[in-house]
Amino acid sequence: MFSNSSKYAIKAVLFLAIHSDENNKIMVKDIADPINVPQAYIAKLLQELAKHKLISSTRGPKGGFFLSQDDKQGNVLDIIKVIDDDKKLNSCMLSLKFCNASNPCPIHHLVSQPRDLIINNLKSKTILELAIHVENGTSRLPL
């Protein structure tokens, strides 16, 4: 469905949503461990997310990554789009070019509707909302 890289990126963003803000920046080395992702790898992903303005960062001493109020209004699908490229999400499950609702491949109707549901769900909730669920115990993040 989506890559390891996207999973890591989602975990990192949620971690930042919970633990950071404009005056609480977090360095790569303090993110990698708790979300259980190699430091050099998550660093690259965070840089990519920052470049696309999904997360914020400042360099130099006292620098680090964080989520602005604005960043926290983003959603999970945005992350996947940046890291993976969303063609993968939307394209035919058999990779057939022509396939769509009116000209479906043999498994189109088995997959299409629930798949769209997932996509819509992933963009329906803000990062902030997801983070709040973690904070109030409705869901869990670590490991």
Catalog residues that contact DNA under the rule CB under 7 A: 3-5, 8, 26-29, 37-38, 40-41, 43-44, 46-47, 50-51, 57-65
d(CA 64, CA 93): 39
Complex with DNA: residue 46 or 89, whichever CB lies closer: 46
62 binds, among its own copies, DNA, none (CB under 5 to 8 A by kind): DNA
Q: Enumerate residues 4-43 that contact its own copies by CB under 8 A.
A: 4, 7, 10-11, 14
Q: Are 75 and 118 in contact (CB under 8 A)?
A: no
The minimum distance between CB 113 and its own copies, in angstroms, equals 8
Helix and strand numbers, DSSP H then E, in the chain:
7, 2
| Cα-based distances in Å from 95 to 33, 59, 98, 100, 118 | 37, 42, 9, 11, 19
Q: Which residue has the tokens 């479906």?
A: 104
Handedness of CA 43, 48, 52, 54 (dihedral sign): negative
Position 108 contacts its own copies (CB under 8 A)? yes
The minimum distance between CB 23 and its own copies, in angstroms, equals 24
Binding site for its own copies (CB under 8 A): 1-2, 4, 7, 10-11, 14, 76, 93-99, 103-111, 113-115, 117-118, 121-122, 124-125, 130-131, 133-134, 138-141, 143
